[in-house]
Amino acid sequence: MALILVDGKEIAVKQGETVLQACMREGIEIPYFCYHPSLSIVGQCRMCLVKVEGAPKLLTACTTTVPELPREKKLDGRYDMKVSVACDEAREAQRGIMEFLLANHPLDCPVCDQAGECRLQEYSYDYGAPRSEFVFEKLHAPKRVVLGPHIIYDAERCIKCTRCVRFCQEITKTSELSLVERGADTIVGTFEGGSLDNPYSVCTADLCPVGALTYREFRFRERVWFLQAHNSVCPECSRNCSVRVDSYKGEVLRIVPRYNPSVNGYYMCDHGRLITERMRGLETRELPSLIRDGKPSPMNEKDFYARLVALFSEKKYRPGDVAVILSGRMSLEEMAAYKRLSKELFGAVIGDVLLRSGESDDLLVRDEKRPNLEGARKLGLPVSGKDEAVSSLIGGKKALLIIREDPVGEAPQEERERLDTAIGSVETVVVMDDHLTATAARAHYFVPLAGWFEMEGTTVNFKGQLQKTTRCVAPPEGRKPFHDVTAEFLKAAGKEAPSGFREWFEEVKKEIPVLGLVKAGEIPLKGIPLPERKEKHG
């Protein structure tokens, strides 16, 4: 541990840590472009130049480590290094770099997607020269280059920080990008057009400190300062990447990774981010409905729930008569609510949470394709069922309840018919989901639920990290989280029921005692690590 003095402030520097890292940790601003904590250090942008006492020239803070001096050599008898970020010399150098970076920069902020979150724009206010003295024609370079299916490159805006190049070399290890040409003509290139096509390609746009790399699906959609940001998690696999969801006028426009060292680090996969595109086509405005010939006919909510309750109390289904398919897409609160409901309706907790798995990689993507399977396990719900198992679960049952799963829609073609017949032979089929799925079209009753970004809830990822998602956009009328649907059922049956996320979270806490004193409103952004599950034997 070394001690440095930065413009009068004492900072302890860990072994191997750079001056920039130490200052960032302590909230002292040093401007920088090329440094990124997850990438190798290249010292290329030269923006982080600082004055180090005794050094003949300015040094880049991002490359400068602090060797511990022997006691008698310490500066002022105390310090291993004295640094100034704010002295005239350093400020002048920072201004000089800005002048250079802006010399050939198009300054087309009004039409640039990055405007509002551009480091170059930001720094030009804070560190820039009052006016540019570059009176020559700016260098022309390719614009709107399709680097990959989701990434567009504008070489004129590029400041050659090589973050994108290093990301593809060091993180995804796919190396689709390289600097090409040299000198002032240097730009970023691929071997052939469009080949930046790895499962994390859009992270390059997140990393790009300027508007050189843009995310194709978001280009020109909305100026960033109009967006509302919400914290959520990605529901597409059991990693549960922490994300920030940007919405505008009730629509989710963009999902970007949110730094969380215990879950996903700085990144997320493209598939998770592209939920926005997959959501766009879905019809999600259904009301509670009876289904006739596959077509929903909406009903008044109150009557609908009364009718369902009446149905179940009339038929008096016993646990053995009923198949319930649950989903790892349900939040912990929804799962807790289901347990209450099941006891109420069938006198016991029955049902299976479907295991859905797929490809994984060694970066982030997990094989379990549901966000909360671990949560289900924590609540003691059985997680089972390979894809083929669904029809066997249904076989011979009188009632079928499916929550947030679409076995028909997801079944391979050859399996479909079997499923269809199985479902067709069940007396009562109730499907609850956030849109009218292929399975729902075969149901008798369809209960619309709030979608993932339309409700609050908690989930537990594969490592046991509990995180909270927030309501990023309001659900359309008539759609609720499943725990609120449960409350409707219970109320219609004349029972007391918790209401809303907060109260149901209290229910969850009863089952996961370590959550102890945690309040629903106080779950930290990074989440809470839960202890490992003790496997129950026997």
Partner 1 sequence: MAGELKVLTANLGMKGTTEIDAVMRRGAYEALIKAMTRMTPDQVLGEVKAANLKGRGGAGFPAGLKWSFLPKGKDKTRYLVCNADESEPGTFKDRLLIENDPHKVLEGIIIAGYATQSAGCFIYIRGEMPQGARVLQRAVNQAYDRHFLGKNILGSGLDFDIWVARGAGAYICGEETALMNSLEGKRGEPRIKPPFPAGYGVYGKPSNINNVETYANVPAIIEKGADWYNSIGSADTPGTRLFGVCGHVKNPGLFELPSTVTLRELIYGHAGGILGDRKLKAVIPGGSSVPVLRADQIDVTMDSAGLKAVGSMPGSGGVIVMNDSVCMVRALHNLMRFYAHESCGQCTPCREGTHWLELLSGAIERGEGREGDADKILSLSKNIMGRTICPLGDAAAMPAESFVRQFREEFEFHIREKRCLPETMRMTTIYSA
Partner 2 sequence: MSRDIRELLADKEFQRKMEKLAGLYPEERSALLAALHLCESETGCCGEEFQEYIAGKLGIPRASVKGVVTFYEMFHEKPRGKYLVQVCRTLPCMLAGAEILLDHICGKLGIRPGGTTKDGKFTLVTVECLACCDRGPSLMINDTLYTGITPEGFDKVIKELD
Q: Does 155 bind partner 2 (CB under 8 A)?
A: no
State the minimum distance, in angstroms, from the CB of residue 159 to ligand SF4.
Answer: 4
Q: Which does 239 bind (CB under 5 to 8 A by kind): ligand FES, partner 2, ligand SF4, none?
A: ligand SF4
Q: Does 210 bind ligand SF4 (CB under 6 A)?
A: yes
Residue 376 in tokens: 């289900």
State the minimum distance, in angstroms, from the CB of residue 180 to partner 2.
Answer: 4
Q: Note whether 184 and 139 are within 8 A (CB).
A: yes
Residue 510 in tokens: 């009863």
Nearer to partner 2, 187 or 224 (CB): 187
State the minimum distance, in angstroms, from the CB of residue 214 to ligand FES.
Answer: 22
State the minimum distance, in angstroms, from the CB of residue 89 to partner 1.
Answer: 11
State the minimum distance, in angstroms, from the CB of residue 94 to partner 1.
Answer: 10
What track of x and - describes contact with partner 2 for positions 194 through 223 (by CB under 8 A)?
-x----------------------------
Q: Does 191 bind partner 2 (CB under 8 A)?
A: yes
Residue 115 in tokens: 């405007």
Q: In 88-219, which ranges are continuous DSSP H helix?
A: 88-103, 119-126, 163-166, 203-207
Q: Note whether 183 and 251 are within 8 A (CB).
A: no
Q: Give the integer Cα–Cα distance in Å for 269 and 363.
A: 9
Among 136, 283, 293, 522, binds partner 1 (CB under 8 A): 136
Q: Is the dihedral of CA 505, 510, 512, 517 positive or negative?
A: positive
Q: Which does 112 bind (CB under 5 to 8 A by kind): partner 1, ligand SF4, ligand FES, none?
A: none
β-pairing, 352-354 with 322-326?
parallel
Q: Does 272 bind ligand SF4 (CB under 6 A)?
A: yes
Q: Give the integer Cα–Cα distance in Å for 240 and 2.
A: 38
Q: Does 11 bind ligand SF4 (CB under 6 A)?
A: no
How does 484-505 read in b/e, with b if 16+ C-beta sit within 10 Å? Answer: bbbbbbbbbbeeebbeebeebb
Nearer to ligand FES, 60 or 469 (CB): 60
State the minimum distance, in angstroms, from the CB of residue 40 to partner 2.
Answer: 15
DSSP state of 167: I
Q: Give the integer Cα–Cα distance in Å for 366 and 384.
A: 17
Q: Which residues contact 137 (CB under 8 A, 6 or more apart)?
A: none
Q: Which long-range contacts (CB under 8 A, 24 or more apart) does 278-281 make?
A: 279/252, 279/451
Nearer to ligand SF4, 30 or 159 (CB): 159
Report the interhelical angle of 482-492 vs 301-315 (nearest 10°): 70
Q: Does 35 bind ligand FES (CB under 6 A)?
A: yes
State the minimum distance, in angstroms, from the CB of residue 274 to partner 2.
Answer: 24
Q: Does 181 bind partner 2 (CB under 8 A)?
A: yes
State the minimum distance, in angstroms, from the CB of residue 175 to partner 2.
Answer: 3
Among 129, 180, 184, 310, binds partner 2 (CB under 8 A): 180
Among 192, 283, 293, 535, binds partner 2 (CB under 8 A): 192
Among the listed ranges 43-51, 332-340, 432-440, 523-531, the one in contact with partner 1 (CB under 8 A) is 43-51
Among 80, 156, 176, 507, binds partner 2 (CB under 8 A): 176
Element (H, E) at 325: strand 322-326
Q: Give the integer Cα–Cα distance in Å for 331 and 450.
A: 11
Nearer to ligand FES, 32 or 215 (CB): 32
Q: Render 243-273 in DSSP notation, one character per residue.
A: EEEEEETTEEEEEEE--BTTTTBT---HHHH
Q: How many residues bind ligand SF4 (CB under 6 A)?
A: 26
SS (H, E, C) 143-204: CCEEEECCEEECCCCCCCCCHHHHHHHHHCCCCCEEEECCHHHCEEEECCCCCCCCCCCCHH
DSSP state of 170: I
Q: Does 47 bind ligand FES (CB under 6 A)?
A: yes
Q: Does 152 bind ligand SF4 (CB under 6 A)?
A: no
Among 7, 17, 24, 44, binds ligand FES (CB under 6 A): 44
State the minimum distance, in angstroms, from the CB of residue 44 to partner 2.
Answer: 15
Compute the CA torsion angle 313, 315, 318, 322 (nearest 10 deg).
-110
Q: Does 58 bind ligand FES (CB under 6 A)?
A: no
Q: Is the dihedral of CA 379, 384, 387, 393 positive or negative?
A: negative
State the minimum distance, in angstroms, from the CB of residue 31 to ligand FES.
Answer: 8
Q: Does 123 bind ligand FES (CB under 6 A)?
A: no
CB atoms within 10 A of CB 160: 18
Nearer to partner 2, 142 or 395 (CB): 142
State the minimum distance, in angstroms, from the CB of residue 35 to ligand FES.
Answer: 4
Q: Is the dihedral of CA 155, 194, 257, 225 positive or negative?
A: positive
User: Using CB under 8 A, which residues numbered 173 to 202 contact partner 1?
Assistant: 178-179, 181-186
Q: Does 62 bind ligand FES (CB under 6 A)?
A: yes
Q: Which does 325 bind (CB under 5 to 8 A by kind): partner 2, ligand SF4, partner 1, none?
A: none
* CA-based R_g, the chain, Å: 28
Contact positions vs partner 1 (CB under 8 A): 41-47, 49, 56-58, 63, 93, 96-97, 99-101, 103-104, 133-136, 139, 159-160, 162, 178-179, 181-186
Contact positions vs ligand FES (CB under 6 A): 32-35, 43-48, 60, 62
Contact positions vs partner 2 (CB under 8 A): 169, 175-182, 189-192, 195
